[in-house]
Amino acid sequence: MSKLKEALEGGKFPIVVEIKPPKGINPEAMLAPVKSLNGRVTAFSIPDNEHAKMRLSPVAAAQLVKAAGAEPMIHLTCRDRNRLALESELLGAAALGVENVLIISGDFVNQGDHPDAKPVYDADSVQLLQIAKGMMTGFDSAGQELNGKPQYYLGAVAIPEADPLGPQLLRVKKKTTAGVDFFITAPVYDLSKLQEFRQKLGAEVKMLATVKVPKAAEVDQALEGKLRKVYSLPVAVAQELKADDPAEVERKGAALAAKLLKEIKAKNLADGVYLKARGKGELMAAILDQAGI
């Protein structure tokens, strides 16, 4: 059983931190927080060409994380592969002992560094959840028997601050019906909306709330009304974080992340926290210190 599954189903409060695969083959920077935070957090999450920017394969990165003695979670995006390749990646992950898989649709390629690449979207996130669940029974999506049954702990994305919220709740229901084991939220800043979302989901649905340290550029975009993300950064929050020095924005963002993490845990607004701090081990450690984790 994965440590994340054990923690969530055991009523603990897991912390999952996101690391950044390299744009190349040198994994040193990616593994630095693994070495410094292993034993302090539950798992290390590995994006799959996040924001449509090409980086090291998450399955390969997961093997490096495992070799460092830690538990990985891979992301698997529907954007870049047809279902043949998606199922092959799932089998590869299982063969390497990687159970935690976050299923996502993926950002559009025109937002990334290969804008001429062709998106695939042969399956969406709901369909891929169904495919992965089917593989766990020993069959691929074409109904052909597999040699061995892979085991996964499957996650999907939810957006508590979606406006309107109704379509998002419908999407969450579809993912739940498809067999998702847990949700990871988009970054949250309005904890009242997180609380409302949690109440609508019900306590039986496992959920990690994402706490993110925004970049200085994102703060500026939010103030200009140009932030194009699946989450919102409230203007009032952006004004608090605004500074001329990007390092000061980061310091303020870390303090806010620690405050949110501490409050989410104290008020039981989620079952755990997913921390995004640009893969910086020292920054994540400082946030955990400030939050008393």
The predicted model scores a pTM of 0.95
Percent of the residues in the chain that have a pLDDT greater than 70, as a whole number: 99
3-state secondary structure the chain: CCHHHHHHHCCCCCEEEECCCCCCCCCHHHHHHHHHHECCECEEEECCCHHHCCCCCHHHHHHHHHHCCCCEEEEEECCCCCHHHHHHHHHHHHHCCCCEEEEECCCCHHHCCCCCCCCCCCCCHHHHHHHHHHHHCCECCCCCECCCCCCCEEEEEECCCCCCCHHHHHHHHHHHHHCCCEEEEEECCCHHHHHHHHHHHCCCCEEEEEEECCCHHHHHHHHCCCCCCCCCCCHHHHHHHCCCCHHHHHHHHHHHHHHHHHHHHHCCCCCEEEEECCCCHHHHHHHHHHHCC
Q: In this predicted structure, what is the pLDDT of residue 223?
A: 87
**pLDDT digits 0-9 by tens, 139-179:** 999 999 999 999 999 999 999 998 889 999 999 999 999 99
pLDDT of 198-232, one tens digit each? 999 888 899 999 999 998 988 988 888 877 666 67
Q: What residue spans define the domains of the chain?
A: 3-214+258-291
Question: Measured between alpha carbons, how far is 290 from 293 in angstroms, rounded to an integer?
Answer: 8
pLDDT digit string, tens, across residues 2-51: 999 999 999 999 999 999 999 999 999 999 999 999 999 999 999 999 98
Looking at CATH, the fold of the domain delimited by 3-214+258-291 is given as TIM Barrel (3.20.20)
| Both structure tokens of 95 | 């063969």
